[in-house]
């Protein structure tokens, strides 16, 4: 708990057997009340490893639902458990769990309702081994998104995120894509709903066991990002109406 707010860490897992333990053991359990892992039909022993570590809440998808589908299951479960501060942490150890206290403090003290762990602030991305083509694509997409969405972030593509309960209850995340574009749809919804977003510098690691998408999927993702931002722009200036940006009933 932090100031009577329940803290829940959610782990979207796919073939995370080799990195889960290292990630889990660095979580600050003096602050974190619950950990939820959702296994998206992994081909390894991720679920067995999660049980071995004593993770109480494990969701197992019988078939692969995708990165977005994984997050939907996690956020719905976190809300069901009464989470007030929900932090998404990748169990592949690409992002350090040691930033959890800082993210909790920012939301718990009601400074910002959303916190992103940014790889771009400072020199964390290239220093951590981000491929140059991914870095260049990240910078181009973020520049374009900032223009279209009328916001200013150092990056929209980090997988390290924390949300207040109010944010999760205010946006239609269950109607977003089940694929990787889910993350950008969610941020677009958050900005459109008027929530402010904080960023903290986050060191990152690229190594063989860390999850990543190939060039063809990266290209598909990039085009999807641009389409999401264009829809946001059209809705913002009154030339379009898209269901994802409507208030929840």
Q: Give the model's pLDDT for residue 248.
A: 74
User: What pLDDT does residue 204 have?
Assistant: 77
* Alpha helices for 45-86 (secondary structure H): 46-53, 66-80
Confidence band (pLDDT; 50, 70, 90) for 33? very high
Return the pLDDT at 211: 54
| pLDDT tens profile 53-64 | 999 999 999 999
Say which residue, 199 or 208, is predicted with more confidence: 199
- pLDDT category at 124 given cuts 50, 70, 90 is low
pLDDT at 159: 92
pLDDT of residue 206: 66
pTM above 0.85, yes or no: yes
Q: Given strand 7-13, what is the order of strands in its sheet?
A: 57-60, 34-39, 7-13, 85-88, 161-164, 114-118, 197-201
Compute the 3-state secondary structure of the chain and give helix, strand, coil in percent, each to the nearest 5. 45, 15, 40
The answer on pLDDT for 242 being more than 80 is yes
At residue 216 the predicted structure's pLDDT band, cuts being 50, 70 and 90, is confident
Lowest-pLDDT range, 70-74, 88-92, 103-107, 126-130? 126-130
Which carries the bigger pLDDT value, residue 66 or residue 215?
Answer: 66
Among 143, 119, 80, which Cα is nearest to 199's?
119
Q: pLDDT: is 206 or 175 the higher one?
A: 175
- Say if residue 38's pLDDT is above 80: yes
| Domains of the chain, start order | 7-243 (3.90.550.10)
Digit-coded pLDDT (tens) for 84-101? 999 999 999 989 999 999
Dist CA 84 CA 104 (whole Å): 10
133 confidence band (pLDDT: 50, 70, 90): confident
The mean predicted confidence, pLDDT, of the chain is 92
At 213 the pLDDT is 63
The Cα 182–Cα 240 span in angstroms is: 20
């Amino acid at each position: 708990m932090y100031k009577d707010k329940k803290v829940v860490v959610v782990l979207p897992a796919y073939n995370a057997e080799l990195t889960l333990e290292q990630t889990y053991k660095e979580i600050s359990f003096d602050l974190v009340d619950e950990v939820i892992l959702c296994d998206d039909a992994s081909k390894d022993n991720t679920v067995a490893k999660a049980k071995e570590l004593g993770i109480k809440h494990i969701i197992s998808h019988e078939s692969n639902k995708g990165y977005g589908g994984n997050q939907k299951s996690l956020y719905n479960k976190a809300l069901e458990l009464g989470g007030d501060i929900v932090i998404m942490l990748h169990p592949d150890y690409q992002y350090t769990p040691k930033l959890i206290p800082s993210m909790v403090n920012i939301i718990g003290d009601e400074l910002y309702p959303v916190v992103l762990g940014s790889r771009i602030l400072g020199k964390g991305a290239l220093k951590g081994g981000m491929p140059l083509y991914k870095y260049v694509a990240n910078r181009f997409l973020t520049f374009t998104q900032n223009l279209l969405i009328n916001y200013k972030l150092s990056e929209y593509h980090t997988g390290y995120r924390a949300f207040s309960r109010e944010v999760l209850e205010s946006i239609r995340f269950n109607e977003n894509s089940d694929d990787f574009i889910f993350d950008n749809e969610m941020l677009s919804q958050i900005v459109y709903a008027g929530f402010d977003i904080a960023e903290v510098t986050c060191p990152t690691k690229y190594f063989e066991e860390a999850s990543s998408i190939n060039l063809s999927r990266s290209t598909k993702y990039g085009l999807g990002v641009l389409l999401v931002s264009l829809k946001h722009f059209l809705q913002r200036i009154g030339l379009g109406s898209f269901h994802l940006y409507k208030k929840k009933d």
